[in-house]
């Protein structure tokens, strides 16, 4: 076990003009679970591969447990990795696959057998130990890949979208299983995903990446509740955060179109500004009749989701997604009323898209 | 009842019939192609395994009625044939090993690394095949005379390796492209050096494809006549030997010679084919 320090890491792929990672610095505490989250091409996998030694940076440094590993080959780093496409060795049995790392480390045979048995029990692979991976399902193959990664006594466990090749139900089940395994193991883990729900549910800390840079780093709930810019808010959450163009009057009131909203005190310092209001679908309360402080909206689409109803509504020409309780009855073209509570509203600068802070 | 008949009446079965007919035609075409290959082999085997007298009879029996090893024994017993068979085996296996030794790493490099001149290199590889073997062999014969490997199996192995390398390299390159890169990376992460990752993981996965390439090499070497005849005098390979003595030999000898030439490569292909498909319970992906 060890902490990881990444400092000013820059990588440009040969033939590429944009930086895959652009001066990324990040500290990952010993034993923590860090998720690198972002859309494809944001540099998250490149960053992970540089931790693994599968790519070498142009400049910057990586150290694991205080030891500089920036340009060390993968086999000299004492790491372990789960690949997106499983990458199990198809020509060898499950047993051999799981024990591979230990065998390479020249661990005595009895000890390998014991650890392989332990991992197989943990991941329900015992009946398949002597089969070839070709005879396993995708989910089982991914279990083999995880078992292979956890038997070695690595400083750092790296996971590159390990769940993305599984079907939806399996992914949900395996996600919680994976979380428990990694928690019990206590190894420092770096996990790459483009799935925001995985990031929120697994991570101790989430680094949202965009265009080779870390857009926001923090506790999953913080990242969800208080996105540091519009990109993060729009990327995390399902549905993503709503963004509404609004204005602040000189006396600190919030105006959307012609309608007035209750404004939090934070906005007083931004009098006479055009801003963007960010609010999550579940933080908007809906009502059929006018209530004080509520604004009018026209229903466009009604999508019952089971536990909630997702409404797409139009407010002064801007489209919002809001959640209503399942008992809420409405239909397209009806007018409903939306309420925003001041402490769930987030505000962003219209030009820079950055979150506004009281000053 | 009436509903069922109504449904039957409206179903157009013509596409189904057409599909069935096409399937039958396809089977017939396969059969015809197979017969085209198999009939000559059968006739040669029949003649090689018949008595001398039965060959001169008319009409010739198309069923093995007079089985005898006499013809074949006579052929194998005639001067030079047994040695030539040995030479052919040495040259075939030698070519296979040498071209694998050079061609497999070259194929790996083509598949995995980007290097300047990669495209021209691939094109350049095929140049050896663009030249007629005679054009290659005569200068080679001169060269081999000066370095004193003329009329040896080594010389023929070198020529055949040169001929086989383009295909060995290109086939193994495509085989290595089929081995997922991340499997190799997984091996590296779990403690392998680049070389041991290649030997422990990449090579075993590529082996079926490499075996296919080696079938090709072996059969090519086994059948190559012209170069082998030019480069040797007393140490001929079997086809070269048969070719030189073919014109002035009895009919039975020719059949036996043909049989002896065909059978080993068929056995070799059959053996390698089983090896191919039984590798890990699946064919090449």
> Best interface-test mutation with B: which of A100, A136, A145, A150 has the largest number of B CBs within 10 A?
A100
Q: How far is CA B172 from the centre of its chain?
A: 15
**Residue of B183, B189, B196 lying closest to A52 (CB–CB):** B189
Pick from B186, B187, B275 the residue to mutate for testing the A interface (most A CBs within 10 Å): B186
Cα distance between residue B237 and residue B79, in whole Å: 13
Report CB contact under 8 Å: B189, A91.
no
Domain boundaries, chain A: 4-235, 242-349
Alpha-carbon distance A81 to A187, whole Å? 12
CB contact under 8 A, A89 and B114: no
CA–CA gap between residue A113 and residue A120 (Å, rounded):
10
CA distance B202 to B192: 12
Strands laid side by side in the A21-28 sheet: A21-28, A4-11, A59-64, A67-68
Question: Strands A335-340, A284-287: parallel, antiparallel or unpaired by DSSP?
Answer: antiparallel
Number of Cβ pairs < 8 A linking chain A and chain B: 71
- A60: tokens are 């910057």
Half-sphere exposure at residue A198, Cβ-oriented, CA atoms within 13 angstroms: 26
Query: Which helix (H) or strand (E) element contains residue B230?
Result: helix B226-231
Q: What phi and psi values does residue A7 have, to the nearest 5 degrees?
A: -125, 125
Q: Could you tell me the mean pLDDT of each successive run of 10 residues in chain B, 285 residues long? A: 59 91 95 93 85 72 74 77 87 94 92 88 84 85 90 91 90 87 93 92 88 84 87 85 78 82 80 58 40
For chain B, positions 265-284, list CB contacts with chain A under 8 A.
Answer: 279-282
- Nearby residues of B9 by Cβ (< 8 Å), 6 or more positions away: none
Average pLDDT, chain A: 91
A352 touches A273 (CB < 8 A)? no
DSSP single-letter state for residue B67:
B
Question: For position A146, what pLDDT does the model report?
Answer: 93
Contact with chain A for residue B186, Cβ under 8 A: yes
- Tell me which residues of chain A have a C-beta less than 8 Å from any C-beta of chain B: 14, 52-54, 73-75, 79-81, 83-85, 87-92, 100-101, 104-105, 132, 134-135, 148, 152
Test B190 with A88 for CB contact under 8 angstroms: no
Each residue of B246-263: b (16+ CB within 10 Å) or e? eeeeeebbbbbbbbbbbe
- Shortest alpha-carbon distance between residue B111 and chain A (Å): 17
CB-count exposure of residue A239 (10 Å: 0-12, 13-18, 19+)? middle
Q: Running DSSP on this structure, what letter comes out for residue A354? A: B
CATH of domain A242-349: 2.40.50.140
CB contact, 8 Å: B114 with chain A? yes
- Asked if residue A212 lies in contact with residue A189, where contact means CB atoms within 8 angstroms, the answer is no
Query: What is the block-wise mean pLDDT of chain A (359 residues), using blocks of 10 residues?
Result: 91 88 93 93 93 94 94 93 92 94 93 94 93 90 93 93 88 91 93 93 93 93 92 91 90 83 76 88 92 91 93 93 93 93 88 78
Exposed e or buried b per residue across B149-169, where buried means at least 16 C-beta atoms within 10 angstroms of its C-beta: bbbbbbbbbbbbbbbbbbbbb
Task: Choose, out of B189, B195, B208, B279, the residue to mutate when testing the contact with A (most A CBs < 10 Å).
Answer: B189
- Which of A88, A104, A151, A161 is the best residue to mutate to test the B interface, defined by the most B CB atoms within 10 Å of its own CB? A104
CB A5, CB A62: distance < 8 Å: yes
Q: Cis before residue B257, ω within 30 degrees of 0?
A: no
Using CA coordinates, name the residue in chain B closest to A81. B189
Taking the CB of residue A345, how many other CB atoms lie within 10 A of it?
22
CA pair distance A15, A2, nearest whole angstrom? 35
Residue of chain B with shortest Cα separation from A105: B191
Query: Which run of H or E residues covers position A217?
Result: strand A213-218
Asked if residues A86 and A142 have their Cβ atoms less than 8 Å apart, the reply is: yes
Neighbouring-strand partners of residue A313: A299, A320
* Beta carbons within 8 Å of B79's beta carbon, 6+ residues apart: none
Nearest CA-CA distance, residue A2 and chain B, Å: 17
Angle, helix B81-112 to helix B251-277, in steps of 10 degrees? 30
Q: How far is B172 from chain A (nearest CA, A)?
A: 18
| Per-window interface: B 163-182 vs A, CB < 8 A | 180, 182
> Which residues in chain B are closer than 8 Å to A73, comparing Cβ atoms?
188, 193-194
Rounded to whole angstroms, the Cα distance separating B50 from B67 reads 5
Rounded to an integer, what distance in angstroms lies between the CA atom of residue A255 and that of residue A246? 6
In the DSSP assignment, the letter for residue A12 is: -
Q: What is the pLDDT of residue B11?
A: 86
**Per the CB < 8 Å rule, is A14 touching B180?**
no
What is the number of other CB atoms lying within 10 angstroms of the CB of residue B139?
A: 9
In the CATH scheme, what architecture does the domain A4-235 have?
3-Layer(aba) Sandwich (3.40)
Distance from CA of B94 to the nearest CA of A (A): 28
Across A288-315, b (16+ Cβ under 10 Å) vs e yields eeeeeebbbbebeebeeeeebbbbbbeb
Helix or strand run (H / E) with residue A67: strand A67-68
> Other C-beta atoms within 10 Å of A264: how many?
17
| Nearest CB neighbour to B183, from listed A54, A74, A89 | A89
For residue A262, give how far its alpha carbon lies from the nearest alpha carbon of chain B (Å): 55
Instruction: Give one DSSP letter per residue of A236-302, joined into a string.
Output: STTTTPEEEEEEE-TTS-EEETTEEE---GGGGGGTT-EEEEEE-GGGEEEESS--TT-EEEEEEEE
Predicted pLDDT at A238: 86
Residue B4: the pLDDT is 54
Would the CB atoms of B193 and A54 count as touching at under 8 Å? no
| Confidence (pLDDT) at B279 | 45
Chain B residues in contact with A14 by the CB 8 A cut-off are: 114
How much is the pLDDT for B284? Answer: 40
Q: Is B201 on the interface with A (CB under 8 A)?
A: yes
Supply φ then ψ for residue A187, to 5 degrees: -80, 145
Bond from prior residue into B59 cis (ω within 30 degrees of 0): yes
Q: How far is A225 from chain B (nearest CA, A)?
A: 37
């Amino acid at each position: 076990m060890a902490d990881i320090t990444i400092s000013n890491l820059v990588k440009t792929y040969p033939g590429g003009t944009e930086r895959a990672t652009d001066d990324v610095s990040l500290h990952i505490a010993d034993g923590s679970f860090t998720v690198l989250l972002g859309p494809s091409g944001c540099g998250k996998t490149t960053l992970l591969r540089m931790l693994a030694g599968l790519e070498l940076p142009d400049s910057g440094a990586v150290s694991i447990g205080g030891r500089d590993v920036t340009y060390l080959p993968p086999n000299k780093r004492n790491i372990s990795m789960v690949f997106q496409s499983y990458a199990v060795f198809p020509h060898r049995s499950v047993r051999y696959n799981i024990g591979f790392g230990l065998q390479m480390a020249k661990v005595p045979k009895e000890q390998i057998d014991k650890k392989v048995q332990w991992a197989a029990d943990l991941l329900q692979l015992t009946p398949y130990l002597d089969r070839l991976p070709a005879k396993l399902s995708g989910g089982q193959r991914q279990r083999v890949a995880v078992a292979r990664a956890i038997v070695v006594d690595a400083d750092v466990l790296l996971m590159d979208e390990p769940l993305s090749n599984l079907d939806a139900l399996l992914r949900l089940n395996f996600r919680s299983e994976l979380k428990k395994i990694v928690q019990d193991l206590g190894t420092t883990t770096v996990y790459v995903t483009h799935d925001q729900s995985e990031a929120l549910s697994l991570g101790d800390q989430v680094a949202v990446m965009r265009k080779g840079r870390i857009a926001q780093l923090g506790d999953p709930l913080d990242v969800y509740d208080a996105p540091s810019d519009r990109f993060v808010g729009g990327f995390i959450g399902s549905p993503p955060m709503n963004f509404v163009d609004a204005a602040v009057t000189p006396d600190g009131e919030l105006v959307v179109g012609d309608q007035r909203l209750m404004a939090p005190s934070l906005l007083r310092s931004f009098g006479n500004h055009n801003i963007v209001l960010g609010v999550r679908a579940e933080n908007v309360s809906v009502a059929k009749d006018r209530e004080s402080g509520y604004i009018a909206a026209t229903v466009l689409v009604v999508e019952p989701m089971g536990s909630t109803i997702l409404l797409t509504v139009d407010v002064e020409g801007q489209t919002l997604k809001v959640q209503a309780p399942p008992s809420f009855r409405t239909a397209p073209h009806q007018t409903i009323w939306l309420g925003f509570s001041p402490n769930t509203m987030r505000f962003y600068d219209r030009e820079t898209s950055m979150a506004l802070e009281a000053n | 009842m009436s509903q069922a008949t109504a449904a039957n009446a409206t179903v157009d079965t013509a596409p189904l019939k057409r599909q069935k007919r096409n399937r039958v035609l396809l089977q017939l075409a396969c059969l015809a192609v197979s017969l085209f290959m198999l009939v000559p082999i059968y006739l040669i085997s029949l003649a090689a395994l018949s008595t001398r007298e039965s060959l001169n009879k008319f009409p010739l029996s198309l069923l093995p009625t007079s089985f005898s090893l006499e013809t074949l024994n006579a052929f194998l017993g005639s001067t030079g044939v047994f040695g030539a068979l040995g030479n052919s085996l040495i040259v075939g296996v030698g070519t296979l090993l040498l071209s694998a030794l050079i061609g497999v790493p070259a194929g790996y490099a083509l598949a995995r690394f980007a290097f300047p001149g990669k495209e021209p290199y691939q094109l350049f590889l095929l140049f050896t095949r663009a030249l007629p073997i005679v054009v290659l062999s005569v200068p080679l014969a001169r060269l081999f005379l000066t370095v004193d490997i003329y009329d040896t199996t080594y010389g023929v192995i070198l020529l055949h390796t040169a001929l086989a390398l383009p295909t060995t390299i290109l086939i193994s390159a495509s085989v290595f492209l089929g081995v997922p890169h991340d499997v190799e990376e997984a091996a590296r992460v779990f403690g392998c050096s680049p070389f041991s990752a290649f030997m422990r993981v990449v090579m075993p996965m590529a082996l079926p494809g490499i075996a296919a390439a080696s079938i090709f090499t072996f059969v090519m070497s086994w059948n190559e006549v012209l170069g082998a005849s030019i480069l040797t005098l007393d140490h001929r390979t079997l086809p070269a030997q048969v070719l030189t003595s073919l014109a002035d030999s009895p009919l039975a000898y020719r059949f036996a010679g043909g049989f002896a030439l065909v059978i080993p490569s068929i056995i070799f292909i059959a053996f390698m084919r089983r090896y191919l498909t039984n590798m890990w319970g699946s064919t090449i992906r």
